Chains A and B, each alone.
Chain A
Amino acid sequence: MLRWVKLACVALLAVATPALAQKKDAPRQYGVGQVATPEQVAGWDIDVRADGQGAPPGKGSAKEGEKVYMERCASCHGEFGESAGRWPQLAQGKGTLASNDPVKTVGSYFAHLSTVFDYIRRAMPFGDAQSLSNDELYAVTAYVLSLNDIVDDNFVLSKETWTKVKMPNAGGFYDDDREMTEKAFWNANPCMSNCRPAVKITGHAQAVDVTPDDKGKGRGVE
């Protein structure tokens, strides 16, 4: 009942607001949906921003994190973050980003601490998401940082120490600049005839021979 009264007030306000105060008409309120309670929001509000906003209470050291990591993470990511099989590699790879074989890890590529913390919090361990306690979460994140020599074994990660962590590739990213750097791709009159010298085939997919055929297992997925 209260809700309807509130909505009625909102509607009255909208009517009472002088047209000049707003460039457009106030958007219509449909009275559909419920107000989310703080408790409801708290249960789902798990994101953590680069500046640490949203980081939960709790703390954990790299040393404590080693135990969690070995039990919950190492079977896929490798004991030293080197990856087992095709699972993501978490450590090493420094200095490879400009090479022919870039290795993107927490240490070599991630620009923000929040990126690894937020991801572990929402999606790890794979198949048992959102099962770590806050202390475990801080500890295992600290351990992954220590695998990358970003912090030492005694480092205790918490909301309070958040900004002490300096990610090595923090300056490695810039916003989409295609409209500037690829301006040449805008062309009102693309060439229609004799556009290039004789064409040579320089590579064959069949020579690479990695295309699945219909005889193997797991091809059709329906």
Chain B
Amino acid sequence: MSDSEKSATRRGFLAGVAGAAAGAALPANAQNAKNLPPNVADWTKQLGEGVGSKPYGQPSKFEKDAVRRTVPWLTATPESSVSFTPLHALDGIITPNGLCFERHHGGIAEIDPNDYRLMLHGLVDKPLIFTLDDLKRLPRVNRIYFLECAANSGMEWRGAQLNGAQYTHGMVHCVQYTGVPLKLLLEQAGVKPAAKWVMAEGGDAAGMNRSIPLAKALDDCIVAYRMNGEMLRPEQGYPVRLVVPGWEGNVWVKWLRRIKIGDQPWFSREETSKYTDLMENGKARQFTFVMDAKSVITSPSPQAPLKQKGFNVISGLAWSGRGKIKRVDVSLDGGRNWRTARIDGPVYDKACVRFYADFEWTGEELLLQSRAMDESGYVQPTKDALRKIRGVNSIYHNNGIQTWALKASGELENVEVG
């Protein structure tokens, strides 16, 4: 394939995902004049579908772009793979349940809620088993948290690779969880004084197990069964998952079947062979649980090009595992000059926030960046600053500043700057 052919393909892709409005920068989408004023549109004259035609509602058929996507070359098999949240197609802070990215290691377990059991044992006075009904009877809390896979942006350590916020940053989502504080369950079993760690284990075919310090378990972890009001989706751990606010997604064990209390970590495969951060000198950091402050401009971005010159709004997401997002700055010149963005909507602890920056686009080429700061004073670093400390082999915890190059055509590209 020649370069010009490749570029034609990409243009086709971009035109295909572009929205509804006509634009100066990109070709107009197909419109039907008979629906436009002064004509009266079809839907104004005819009755629509009746109520109850869809017992569980679905998005408009015109919103085909807002779907999870995969990168097939990343993994050997779909049962142990990942799909990405379409960040470019979303706004606000809450991710719709059906669009939350997926990461499974042994496929999506199908658990009959009647046969669901949670076992709690180890260094406790009284080992316990809870049914789903048991968990639902107990006092519950509602909390909005982001969940980010430690490998989010992991393909970008050696330079710009994937062209779209969905692929570079789409292993994050943010929903409201309903569930029982893990502390309350531990109190029912009675934790022995020697206890220091807990192990959470999944009931899926991967039996995912991770060690979590007891202090975190007693702090803000939730044994959750609902997301955004409804029961967890199967791919998010139905009927029960662990919520570990601010920490890497891998410890948020899905299809939670067992919690064991011990006095030392387990060094399971997922906390040694994987989810450890290999540094340049060949040594690796372990138990790097916290997700550092991070942000990304979701629109415009490679999958959401600009369609019009003139007034436009930059929209993005920011989050931090160290607390609340305090501020987000935006740059149009690749990080030389910054201005503070407007955060709109609620700002919760360890949750996504939505930021906006208005700008007038005259058609010039720009290098768009965003930079998040959290209440701990942490400032999202550049990718080069991260590489200077960590090298390029660590796979996980890449929270470096993302650059989108805006071209005169309105298209955007994931680029590396130096």
Contacts and interface: CB of A to CB of B under 8 A. Distances in A.
Contacts of A208: 159-161
Contacts of A204: 160, 413-416
B163 A206 contact: yes
Contact of A29 (B120, B188, B338, B379): B188
Interface stretch (A140-148, A152-160, A172-180): A172-180
Interface of A: 27-30, 32-36, 40-41, 44-47, 49-51, 76, 85-87, 97-98, 100, 102, 104, 109-112, 114-116, 118-119, 122-123, 126-127, 129-130, 172-178, 181-182, 184-188, 190-206, 208-222
A222 B338 CA distance: 39
Interface of B: 6-7, 9-10, 13, 16-17, 67-73, 75-80, 83, 98, 102, 105-106, 119-121, 126-131, 134, 137-139, 159-164, 167, 184, 187-188, 199, 201, 205-207, 209, 257-258, 260, 262, 264, 266-269, 272-273, 276, 278, 280-290, 292, 302, 329, 333-339, 367, 371, 373, 376-381, 385, 389, 393, 405, 413-418
A174 B418 contact: no
Contact of B268 (A98, A115, A192, A215): A115
A209 B91 CA distance: 27
B139 to A, nearest CB: 8
Nearest to B102: A221
Nearest to A186: B377
B199 A47 contact: yes
Contact of B285 (A111, A173, A198): A173
A173 B137 contact: no
Nearest to A53: B262
Judged by DSSP, the binding face of A is loop
A212 B162 CA distance: 9
Contact of A86 (B10, B76, B205): B76
Contact of A33 (B102, B128, B201, B287): B128
Nearest to B417: A199
Given A45-B260, A210-B161, A219 B338 contact: no
Given A199-B335, A210-B161, A221 B138 contact: no
B71 A212 contact: yes
Given A35-B126, A129-B207, A214 B13 contact: yes
A205 B160 contact: yes
Contacts of A191: 338
A99 B198 CA distance: 35
B302 to A, nearest CB: 8
B336 A198 contact: yes
Best-buried of B273, B414, B416 by chain A (most CB within 10 Å):
B273
A109 to B, nearest CB: 6
A203 B276 CA distance: 27
Nearest to A111: B272
Nearest to A101: B393
Contact of A114 (B16, B78, B131, B266): B266
A30 B343 CA distance: 42
A199 B283 CA distance: 33
A29 B282 CA distance: 49
B377 A187 contact: yes
A184 B390 CA distance: 14
B322 to A, nearest CB: 10
A176 B89 CA distance: 35
B162 A211 contact: yes
A40 B130 CA distance: 12
B389 A182 contact: yes
Given A36-B121, A47-B266, A221 B69 contact: yes
Contact of B367 (A29, A109, A199, A219): A199
Given A36-B128, A119-B269, A201 B405 contact: yes
B285 A177 contact: yes
B134 A33 contact: yes
30 contacts: A36-B121, A40-B129, A47-B201, A47-B209, A47-B266, A49-B266, A97-B278, A114-B267, A116-B269, A119-B269, A173-B284, A173-B285, A176-B285, A176-B286, A176-B289, A185-B381, A195-B338, A199-B335, A202-B418, A205-B162, A205-B413, A206-B163, A206-B413, A209-B6, A212-B72, A213-B13, A214-B16, A221-B83, A221-B102, A222-B98
Contacts of B71: 210-212
A188 B377 contact: yes
B209 A115 contact: no
A49 B184 CA distance: 26
A104 B394 CA distance: 12
A53 to B, nearest CB: 8
A46 B257 CA distance: 12
A205 B201 contact: no
A219 B272 contact: no
A201 B188 contact: no
